[in-house]
Amino acid sequence: MSEAESGCTEPRTAVTEAEVEALVHGICFKTGPPRTLGVEVEWFIHELRTPQSPLSPERLAAVYTALRTLPLRSALTVEPGGQLELSSPPAASLMECVGTVSADLDAVRAVLAADGLRLVGIGHDPWHPPRRFLREKRYDAMETVLDRTGPAGRHMMCASASVQVCLDAGHEEPGPLGHGRRWWLAHQLGAVLVAAFANSPLVGREPTGWLSTRQLLWLEIGPGRAGAPPLDGDPRSAWARHVLDAPVMCVRREDGPWDVPDGLTFREWTRGGAPRPPTRDDLDYHLTTLFPPVRPRGHLEFRMIDAQPGDDGWIVPLAVTAALFDDPQAAETAYRVVKPLAERALSLPAPHNPLWIEAARSGLADPDLYEAAVTCFDAAIEALPRLGATPGVTAAVAAYHDRYVRKGRCPADDLLDRLRGPEPSPSRLRPTGSTDSTGSTGKTPSAHGKDIRT
């Protein structure tokens, strides 16, 4: 969501349909041994003591002015609704990634705390309606396009937040770390990650009936903008077709407002050439306007995980995902576990299939997703030391497993329990311990009650 607004000043050379397909083949899956990883963490900025109180745009702008003076290693960007995002540089190990982002978050939190503010990790803002903070041509166009399908687009742009894990595409050859296997696994295991880390059950302080309302928003936005391609062929070819057949969000202009066509696909644009022929720069920009649950950008970007509670809660999905994809033994276990689940997808692309829909609605209350999550977390916990994870990170994943996964719960259940009062849902066990409305215990720095950096 936080792609930089690209200019239109470079010399224009029109690209053909065949050139587009070749370019997508070449740039979106760069294969080789999985060696690097990264994470993009999104947060809401709320009042420290009264998170229900909205921040004025002026105050939020002043906060970002101060934050941009920090010497961060991660890229700091702003989402359309004012959410903060930190994107790590590619890291050579899990712990390098954790250390870099943790240090940057410490610096960010110190600036915010001095102004009576805090970062809140939750998949959808439970209190505030969507309100756009950024006024840029990109987001003007995006709002216009997404409004055509209803209010979900504005909620996604301005009131949602996620943890996005970035992993290498994998080897060219087959096997547990091959790019074809990883691409397939990402779309099947993705439903398990949605269920295990669901953390967005409220909108306007009321339950939506979905544990991951953020995932519901992507469903409602539709498959052209927010769907995956079919998985029944070569990943590069399938993604290239999807890119060509996806609707163009906007045709940028150097001067004046951008055109926002209705239903024009990139394939049709290359064939028709109106209102002007598309260029390589237009293709690059078009790729940033597609939001599938797994986006190939040379690496694989996992976009399905809700933002997590606690200062360091984001580390748990990062560690679990890295272990299940980059450790060969854990990857093989995950593949075997989710293979039966794939039948429930009915060969329909994610997230618009029954498996993903049930994951977002019911989480680990679904027996199949529950069994898969338990086995995958066990495999991840066993694999993390092999990836160089510290005992603290491994213990944090184990604590999350015990508190949530083994009990068929997710952080969304904590939010719903607090809303319902002292009696937990009869179908779920209430974990011990109490947290505030964001899932944080108030201790520093912690995720689910544990310091997990060491």
User: What is the DSSP track for 21-76?
Assistant: HHHHHHHSB--S----EEEEEEEEEEESS-TTSPPPHHHHHHHHHHHTTS--SSEE
- Under DSSP, the state recorded for 274 is -
Residues of the chain with pLDDT under 50: 1-11, 425-454
Q: What are phi and psi of 296, to 5 degrees?
A: -80, 120
The predicted pLDDT at position 432 comes to: 32
> Could you give the CA distance from residue 14 to residue 403 in angstroms, rounded to a whole number?
55
What pTM, to 2 d.p., does this model score?
0.91
Give 305's strand partners. 163
The predicted pLDDT at position 438 comes to: 33
> Could you give the CA distance from residue 299 to residue 40 in angstroms, rounded to a whole number?
13
The predicted pLDDT at position 114 comes to: 97
Q: Which residues are within 8 A (CB) of 110 and not within 5 positions of it... i.e. 6 or more apart? A: none
